[in-house]
Amino acid sequence: MNNSNRNDHNVDGDMFPETDDSKASEEQVKHVASQQFIHGLLSFIHSDDESRQNRRYERLMEAIDQEESLAILKPRRIYWRIPSAIAAGILLMLTVIFLSIPTEQSAYAMVQASIDASESAGDRRYEVLITHKPGNEQFQDLHAIIDIRDNNHVVIRADTPDGGQLVVGHNDEGRWAIRQDGMIERFRPDRAWPKWINLGDSTVLVESVDDLLRRLDGYYRLTQGEPEQLDDNQELLYERVTAELIKREGPDPERIELWIDPATHIVQRMELRWPSQQRNRDNSIRQYDSLPQGELDPNGPPRPGERRDPNGRPPHMGRPGQDRPPPRREQHDPNKPPRPGEHHNLDGPPPPHHGRQGPDRPPPRFIDGPPRFGEGRHPPPPDVIVFNRVEAPGFPQDWFDPERHVK
């Protein structure tokens, strides 16, 4: 939900005329240079927030790390002394490395094709399930819906544990959110949109599928997997990409799984996964401590009739073919076009047994900057967030305007 693609300095055009060194006066050169200097600063202010700059640093240091590791192989003078068996081993290793490169390149190409396709895909809807591993029932599963028309037209509507709904979006005028008091808040265009929301029990990443895709390059190592089916279309084999966080620091999901439609290149399903230890590092462990004996197992005791996944995945969050996709909420018909008045409370409040509710519960809050899970400053992330593409209704023209979503 950033507008960086529109920020390639469309106001430059022919506004910086060429200067012929031999003819331009000192004043002319000074004028053009100062115009471009201010242009550079303005472009930087509006396009290069800290996260984008950090991404450049990550990408750079990753390349330097690779160069350093390759440099270890450089002292060729001693190669002739290496016994042939070791040389053969090295050769085999290098062969494996080179064989793996096309797979990685293919994965990057798939993701890039998906990014390109999403820019012209038109109206899309994703149902989102934010969930926790079995045994973490004290954390409430939450639902959200993301409606996307293009980079600049997005609406995210998420249930909150207090029974309310969080609505954020982006339209022609920029980024907006509906505050708890029902007022519209617009974010300054030169500031990053806060992406993390403290829900009290957990801290949740709120970002569109397209923005998440764009962040993969640089932060994640991508690998291509074998094509797989999804439960909603048994005949189609989806392209598979797994993205693993290069530097396992910070709040980002450790692993992202993608199922991409081979014909349209649009993401059909995306799973974001956080490591369980990230939860255990912070104060959430104290909540486990208060549970009755027998529930101290991070996965908790099996429920009656529960088939436990050996990897700790909740039954409905597994890979297609093994488990079921996240259930759709019965009250909500994704094919039904949104009606005025329906929008602020998508499916009604969650059932009473879900999570803590009541006036003592703090309202959801945006976090300025990335959350600090390790220091216990913020509640832990969920274990899994799953995005599933569903059929999109025809969105009304004003669907992406905040006024449409104010109660």
Partner 1 sequence: MTPPKHGPHPSASEVFEILVRQNGDMLTAFLRSLVKRSDLVDDLFQETMLIAWRRLDDYDRSRPFGPWLRGIAGNLVLAHRRQSGRDLLNCDPAILEGLEKCIRNFESTPADSFRDRLQQLRLCMDKLPERMRDVIDLGYGRGMLVREIAIAVDAGAEAVKKRIQRARQLLMDCLQLPGEAP
Handedness of CA 306, 309, 314, 319 (dihedral sign): negative
Amino acid occupying residue 122: G
Q: Quickly tell me which residue has 């997005």 as its tokens.
A: 154
d(CA 265, CA 118): 8
Pair 135, 299: CB distance under 8 Å: yes
Among 21, 181, 289, 330, binds partner 1 (CB under 8 A): 21
Residue 12 or 104 with smaller CB distance to partner 1: 12
Instruction: Please report, for residues 202, 284, 407, the alpha-carbon distance to residue 255 in angstroms, rounded to integers and kept in the order given.
Output: 18, 21, 37
Specify the DSSP class assigned to residue 392: P
Residue 112 or 345 with smaller CB distance to partner 1: 112
DSSP secondary structure letters along 311-358: T---GGGS-BTTBPPPPPPTT--TTSPP-TTTTTSSS-SPPTTSS--S
Partnered with residue 258 across adjacent β-strands are: 241, 270
Element (H, E) at 270: strand 267-273
Helix (H, G, I), strand (E, B) or coil at 71: helix
Among 163, 189, 301, 334, binds partner 1 (CB under 8 A): 189
Q: Where are the beta strands (DSSP E) in 97-164?
A: 124-131, 142-150, 153-159
Among 63, 82, 183, 285, binds partner 1 (CB under 8 A): 63
Instruction: Please report, for residues 44, 225, 249, 330, 339, the alpha-carbon distance to residue 333 in angstroms, rounded to integers and kept in the order given.
Output: 43, 33, 39, 7, 12
Among 161, 164, 177, 190, binds partner 1 (CB under 8 A): 190
Q: Which stretch binds partner 1 (CB under 8 A): 10-18, 113-121, 197-205, 261-269?
A: 10-18
Cβ-Cβ contacts under 8 Å for 138 (sequence gap 6 or more)? 201, 287, 291
Among 1, 3, 224, 393, binds partner 1 (CB under 8 A): 3
d(CA 209, CA 218): 17
Among 57, 93, 185, 285, binds partner 1 (CB under 8 A): 57
Among 58, 150, 244, 347, binds partner 1 (CB under 8 A): 58
Q: Which stretch binds partner 1 (CB under 8 A): 3-11, 101-109, 141-149, 271-279?
A: 3-11
Least Cβ distance, residue 111 to partner 1 (angstroms): 15
Least Cβ distance, residue 258 to partner 1 (angstroms): 22
Among 67, 181, 330, 360, binds partner 1 (CB under 8 A): 67
Q: Which stretch binds partner 1 (CB under 8 A): 14-22, 112-120, 125-133, 385-393?
A: 14-22
**Footprint of partner 1 on 268-297 (CB under 8 A):** none
Least Cβ distance, residue 191 to partner 1 (angstroms): 11
The mark string for 27-46 relative to partner 1 (x by CB under 8 A, - otherwise) is --xx-xxxxxxxxxxxxxxx
Q: Which stretch binds partner 1 (CB under 8 A): 63-71, 96-104, 197-205, 286-294?
A: 63-71
Q: Is 59 in the site for partner 1 (CB under 8 A)?
A: yes
Residue 61 or 87 with smaller CB distance to partner 1: 61
The mark string for 131-170 relative to partner 1 (x by CB under 8 A, - otherwise) is ----------------------------------------
Residue 43 or 229 with smaller CB distance to partner 1: 43
Which pair of structure tokens corresponds to residue 154?
A: 């997005």
Q: Crossing angle, helix 209-219 and helix 84-118, to 10 degrees? A: 150
Q: Is 51 in the site for partner 1 (CB under 8 A)?
A: no
DSSP secondary structure letters along 258-316: EEE-TTT--EEEEEEE--HHHHHTSTHHHHHHTSPTT--STT-SPPTT----TT---GG
Which pair of structure tokens corresponds to residue 50?
A: 């800290």
Residue 17 or 262 with smaller CB distance to partner 1: 17
Residue 20 or 289 with smaller CB distance to partner 1: 20
Site residues for partner 1 per CB under 8 A? 3-13, 15-21, 24, 29-30, 32-48, 53-54, 56-61, 63-65, 67-68, 172-174, 189-190, 247
